[in-house]
Amino acid sequence: MAFADFEQALSNANQVDLTTVGRVSGEENSRPVWFVQEGETVYLLPVGGSDSQWYKNIVKTPDIRLGARGGEYSARGTPVTDRAKVDEIVDRFRSKYGHRDVEAYYPKRDVAVEVPPA
């Protein structure tokens, strides 16, 4: 699916289904995650920061799949480790989901993942 088509599904979604390839098992793993969008770029924030299993999977195998409201988009996730950029993404999460929930659900905020359009 082209990103433009997937973007319509994102506009009405609070979360996406993220599918990664397990770095040890080689098996696909899916889980719901929150996201924010800036233009055509989607950002994901791992709950456990750099310790999150799905983040470690993306570091090893960046090919991912995002699903939202029946739409699906295959892309490459790029780890974001720059402190200033991660802080900017966290601020976007606070704006979308609320300061209290981001503080509660994201105790370690040291990395993020950028998903640019293909």
pLDDT in tens, the chain (118 residues): 577 778 888 888 899 999 999 999 999 999 999 999 998 899 999 999 999 999 999 999 999 999 998 889 999 999 999 999 999 999 999 999 999 999 999 999 999 999 998 7
Give the dihedral of Cα atoms 102, 83, 117, 56; nearest 10 deg: -80
Decide: helix, strand or coil at residue 106. Answer: coil
Domains and CATH numbers, the chain: 3-115 (2.30.110.10)
pLDDT in tens, 82-100: 999 999 999 999 999 999 9
Round to whole Å and give the CA distance between 90 and 24.
29
Radius of gyration of the chain from Cα atoms?
13
Which region, left, alpha or beta, applies to residue 69 given φ > 0 means left and ψ of -120 to 50 means alpha?
left
Buried b (16+ CB within 10 A) or exposed e, 15-54: ebebbbbeeeeeeeeeeebbbbeeeeebbbbbbebeebeb
Pair of tokens at residue 30:
């899916």
